[in-house]
Amino acid sequence: MATELTTTNLKTDEMIINMGPQHPATHGVLRLILKLDGEIVRHVEPVIGHLHRAQEWQGQNRTLFQYQALIDRVDYLSGMFTSLAFAHACEQIDGCEVPPRAQYLRALVCEMNRISSHLLWLGTFLIDLGALFGFPFYPFREREKLLDLFEEIAGQRMMFNYIRIGGVIRDPKPTWFEKVRKFTQEFPDRIDEYEAIVTQNPIVLKRTKDVGILDKQVAFDYGVSGPSLRGSGVNYDLRKVRPYGIYPDLNFDVPLGQNKGDTWDRYMCRILEMRQSNELIKQCLDKMPEGEILGKKQIAGLRIKAGEGFSAIESPRGVLGCYVISNGSDKAYRIKWRNPSFCNLAVLPSLLIGRPISDIMAIFGSIDVILPDVDR
Amino acid sequence: MNEPLKILNQSNELVSPELSDTVTLTTLDKAIDMLSTIVSPIANLARSNSVWPLTFGTSCCAIEMMCVGMSAFDISRFGSEVFRATPRQADLILTAGTITRKMASALITLYEQLPEPKYVIAMGACTITGGMFNDSYSVVQGVDRLIPVDVYLPGCPPRPEAILDALLKLQQKIRTENYAKRRLKGYDQRPVRYVDYDSGRPMEDLLAMAMEETKEVLTKQDNDNTK
Amino acid sequence: MTEKPAEKTEVKLEIGRFGKFLQDNGIKSKRQSDSNNVETIVIDAKDLEPAMRLLKTSSETTLNFLLCVSGVDYADKIDSVYHLWSYEHNDALVIKVELPKNNMTNTQTPCMSSISNFWPAANWHERETYDLVGIRYLKHPYLRRILNPWDWEGHPLRRDYKQLIDALNDKNPHSFR
C-alpha cells in the first residue's frame, strides 16, 4: 500500500499571487500582492494609487468655483457628499449662512444619494459573491429611477455639482417632489424584494456568516468608520454624534450590526440604512420650507475669507472629511481630503490574514471601497 | 554548452522557442487573401454583432459601463453583453476612466494580450485628452498616447446611450474593413509581453540584464577558482 | 512662492483644556487661534510621540480616533497636522508640528518621528504625506510612496514642484490656470 497522504507529511510552499490592478471584482484598480500558503492568505500588501488623479493638487491650482465641479469625482458614487463636505468646510471659514430650504434640499439629495450608492454596492457585492448576472438587475432598476431624479435637478446622472458653497444651485419643480414621494412609497417593497432573494439565501449565508470579523478595537486603531464600523456594533454615526445641517430636527435610529461584526452584519447594516434613508427622505419632504436656496453668489471669482476649516460628514462609506486652508484669494491654499475608503481599506490586511482566498472578495466587497475615494 | 534549439517555419524563417507549438498559417493566409473579398463581408457581419468587451474600468465611466449592461439600457441588444474578465477572450477595450502613469503599463499589457482583431473605444473625456484632470502631474493626457484608438466617445461620463452609439459606430467600422488588409497593418505582436510593473520596462529586457549579470558573476567565480 | 497664507496676528492665547492636560504631563505646547471652536495646538516634533500616546490612552482625554495626518507646505516651514477625534465623546483637537524649511529643495525632506508604531491608522496617512508633501517619518515600518509610483521624483504638493513633461504629458500644462 502506498504511503498515506496526510496533512502532516504534505510539504507546502508559500506562493505569491498578484491580484489586479485589472480585476473584475476590485471595483476599479486595486492591486493586492498576496502571499498564500495553499488556500490560506498569509500576507497581504495592497498597492493603491492607480487612479491617483491629483485632486488635492487640482484643489490648490484651480479657483474654488472651478474646483466645485471637480470634487464630485472624488467619490463618484456619492458626489453629493463630497460637495457637501467641501461646502461645509468653506462655509465654516467664510461664515456665510445657508438658507433653511437649502439645508433641507441638501439633506434630501444626500439621503437619495446614499440609497443610490448602497444600491450599487448591493449589486456589485452580489457580483463579488458570484451572482454574476441576474440579481444585479434588481438594484440597478431602482438606481436608474434615482439617477433620473438627479438628472432633473442637476443635469447630470452622476456628477451633480449641485451643492455649492452657501446652498444649492437649483430649486426643483413641485412635480419633482411628487416623483420623489412616489419613489419613497414604492422603495420599501423593493428592498423587501432584495431581502427575499439575498438575506436568508443559504449560499449567501455560507459565504458571509463568520467571515471577516472586524474587532472593535482593531476598527478603532485603524480609524474605521461608516457602516463597516457600525456592523461591529459601535454606535458611531456623525448624523447623531456630531449633527450637522438639519439632522438634529429629523427623527431616526442608527442601524447597528446585531451579531459580531462579520460580513453579513455589514450587509445587513447597509440594507437597514437604505430603509432609514427612505424614512429620512419622507421627513425632509414633509418639513420642506419655502424660501431662498443660495446664500452666496456663485460667480467665477468666488472667494472665501482667510482661515482654516475642517468639516466631516457621514458619507455612505464613513466619515468624509475635508480640510481647507484658505488665504483669502480665489484659490484655496491647501485642500486635504480625509476619505473613508482610504482609512477603511487600511484595515483589509488584518481581516484577510488567515482566511482562504475565496473569502477575499466577500470581505473586500463588504467594506465597500471606492477606488477614486482611496486614490483621489 | 548545448546549442539552443532552432525552430524554422515553413518559409524557413527563425521562430522563437515560445512560439514553436503555435501553428503557422502562411499558406492559409494566402488563401484568405484571395478569398477575403468574398469572405470579409460575411465574417465582418458575424464579428460586428458579437463584440465582447473587456471589463476594464478605472473610475466614473465604469459605473456607466455597468449601467449600460443592466436592464434599462441593455447592451445585449447589440451583442456585447458578454463582459469578459480576461483580455484573452475579449475583442474590445472600453477604456472607462482616467488612465494614470501608474496604470499605463498595465493598460499596455492588457492591450497586447487581446487577440487580433482588437478594438479600443476611448470612453470619457479623461481618456481622450486627460479631461478635467488634463494638467494633473499623474494623469496621461489621452489614452491614444499608449494604444491606438478606434472610436472616441466624449462625455464626463458619457450617458449609456452614448456608449451604445459608440458601439454602433464601431460595428459600422468593423463591417467596412478588410481583414487581410488589417493583418498587413498589424505590428509584430507577441502572445504575451510581460512588463515589469514598477519600472515599466519589458520583462525580457530585465531578464536579459539579469542573465548577463549572473554570467559575469559566474565567470568571475570561475576565474577565482582557477587562480 | 508668491502666494502666502494670511499672517496670523500674534495674540497671546489662553491655554486650552488639552494644552493644560499636556502641560500637567510635562509636554509644552503653544495654542493657536481656533478654527470652528476646535482647540489647535502646536507642539515640538520630539514631543509628538509621547503626547499622542497620552492623548490616545489616557482616560481623561481618550482621543482615540485619528482622522487624518496632513502635510501643509508653507513658505518657510512644513506643517504636519493631526486631526484627533474620539469615538466615545464629542471632543476634538488639532495638533500641528512645525518643521522649519531651510532653503530646502524639492527632493529634500524634513524628518520627524512616526506614530504609526502604536497607532496603525497613521500608517497610510504618513506614507501619503511622505509621498505628496515630503515629510520623512522616522521609524515608520514601511515608508514607501503610496499613491505615486515608487520611482517618482519630487513631492507634488510642494509649492516649488515642477511637473514632469514627457510624451505622456506635453500639452500646455498651464492652459487651464
DSSP letter for A21, please. S
Per-residue pLDDT band at C10 (split at 50, 70, 90): low
pLDDT at position B10 is: 53
Interface A:C, Cβ pairs < 8 A = 92
**Is A138 a residue whose pLDDT tops 80?**
yes
Per-residue pLDDT band at C175 (split at 50, 70, 90): very low
**Is B106 a residue whose pLDDT tops 60?**
yes
Interface test with C, best of B101, B129, B137 (most C CBs within 10 A): B137
Per residue in A279-307, pLDDT (tens digit) is: 889 998 888 888 888 877 887 888 888 88
Percent of chain C at pLDDT > 90 equals: 0
Per residue in C152-169, pLDDT (tens digit) is: 888 888 888 877 777 677
Interface test with C, best of A215, A311, A334, A376 (most C CBs within 10 A): A334
Q: Length of chain B in residues, anyone?
A: 227
Which chain C residue is nearest to residue A327, measuring alpha carbons?
A: C5
**Is B5 a residue whose pLDDT tops 80?**
no
Domains of chain C by start residue, with CATH: 17-138 (3.30.460.80)
- Higher-scoring residue by pLDDT: A19, C14: A19
DSSP letter for A25, please. T
Instruction: Please answer yes or no on whether B141 and C167 come within 8 Å at the CB atom.
Output: no
Distance in angstroms (rounded) separating the CA atoms of residues C111 and B93: 45
The domain tally of chain A equals 1
Handedness of CA B50, B55, B59, B60 (dihedral sign): positive
pLDDT at position A115 is: 92
Percent of chain A at pLDDT > 90 equals: 6
Has residue A15 been placed in a domain? no
Per-residue pLDDT band at B186 (split at 50, 70, 90): low
> Cell 485632486 appears where?
A55
**Is C177 a residue whose pLDDT tops 50?**
no
Q: Buried b / exposed e across B191-209, counting CB within 10 Å, b at 16+?
A: eeeebebeeeebeeeeeee
Cα separation values, C52 from A17, A124, A164, C47, C136, Å: 37, 39, 36, 9, 18
Distance in angstroms (rounded) separating the CA atoms of residues A135 and C96: 49
Per residue in C49-92, pLDDT (tens digit) is: 888 888 888 888 888 888 889 888 888 888 889 988 888 888 88
Residue numbers in C near A333 (CB within 8 A): 3, 5, 72
Interface test with A, best of C3, C35, C72 (most A CBs within 10 A): C35
Which chain A residue is nearest to residue C73, measuring alpha carbons?
A: A334
Amino acid at B7: I
Per-residue pLDDT band at C176 (split at 50, 70, 90): very low
Instruction: Please answer yes or no on whether B72 and A141 come within 8 Å at the CB atom.
Output: yes
Q: Is the peptide bond before B157 cis (omega within 30 degrees of 0)?
A: yes
The rounded Cα A199 to chain-centroid distance in angstroms is: 21
Contacts of B1 (CB under 8 A, 6+ apart): none
Cβ neighbourhood burial of C71 (10 Å; 0-12, 13-18, 19+): buried
CATH number at residue A132: 1.10.645.10
Has residue A127 been placed in a domain? yes
Per residue in C16-31, pLDDT (tens digit) is: 777 788 888 778 888 8
**CATH number attached to the domain at B46-185:** 3.40.50.12280
Which residues of C lie closer than 8 Å to B, measured between beta carbons?
Answer: 147-151, 156, 161, 163-164, 167-171, 173-177
Helices (H), A25-173: 55-61, 64-70, 79-94, 100-129, 137-154
Per residue in A248-275, pLDDT (tens digit) is: 888 888 888 777 888 888 888 889 999 9
Instruction: Please answer yes or no on whether A51 and B98 come within 8 Å at the CB atom.
Output: yes
pLDDT at position B4 is: 52
pLDDT at position B191 is: 43
Domain boundary assignment for chain B: 46-185
Which chain B residue is nearest to residue C167, measuring alpha carbons?
A: B145
SS3 C17: helix
pLDDT at position B147 is: 82
Q: Is B100 on the interface with C (CB under 8 A)?
A: no
Residue numbers in A near C5 (CB within 8 A): 306, 325, 327, 333
Per residue in A29-74, pLDDT (tens digit) is: 888 888 888 888 888 988 888 888 888 888 888 888 888 888 888 8
Per residue in B45-104, pLDDT (tens digit) is: 888 888 898 888 888 888 888 888 888 888 888 888 888 888 888 888 888 888 888 888
Residue numbers in C near B139 (CB within 8 A): 169
Which chain B residue is nearest to residue C176, measuring alpha carbons?
A: B135
Residue numbers in B near C175 (CB within 8 A): 134-135
**Is C6 a residue whose pLDDT tops 70?**
no
Interface test with C, best of A48, A52, A236 (most C CBs within 10 A): A52
SS3 A218: helix
Instruction: Please answer yes or no on whether A54 and B138 come within 8 Å at the CB atom.
Output: yes
* pTM score of the predicted model: 0.84
Residue numbers in C near B134 (CB within 8 A): 171, 175-176
**Average pLDDT of span C117-136:** 88
Instruction: Please answer yes or no on whether A310 and C146 come within 8 Å at the CB atom.
Output: no
Has residue A7 been placed in a domain? no
- Higher-scoring residue by pLDDT: C168, A219: A219
pLDDT at position A32 is: 87
Which residues of A lie closer than 8 Å to B, measured between beta carbons?
Answer: 21-24, 28-29, 49-54, 57-58, 61, 69-70, 73, 76-77, 120, 123-124, 133, 136-137, 140-141, 143-144, 147, 157-159, 371-372
**Is B25 a residue whose pLDDT tops 60?**
no
Q: Which of B129, B138, B145 sits opposite C167 (nearest CB)?
A: B145
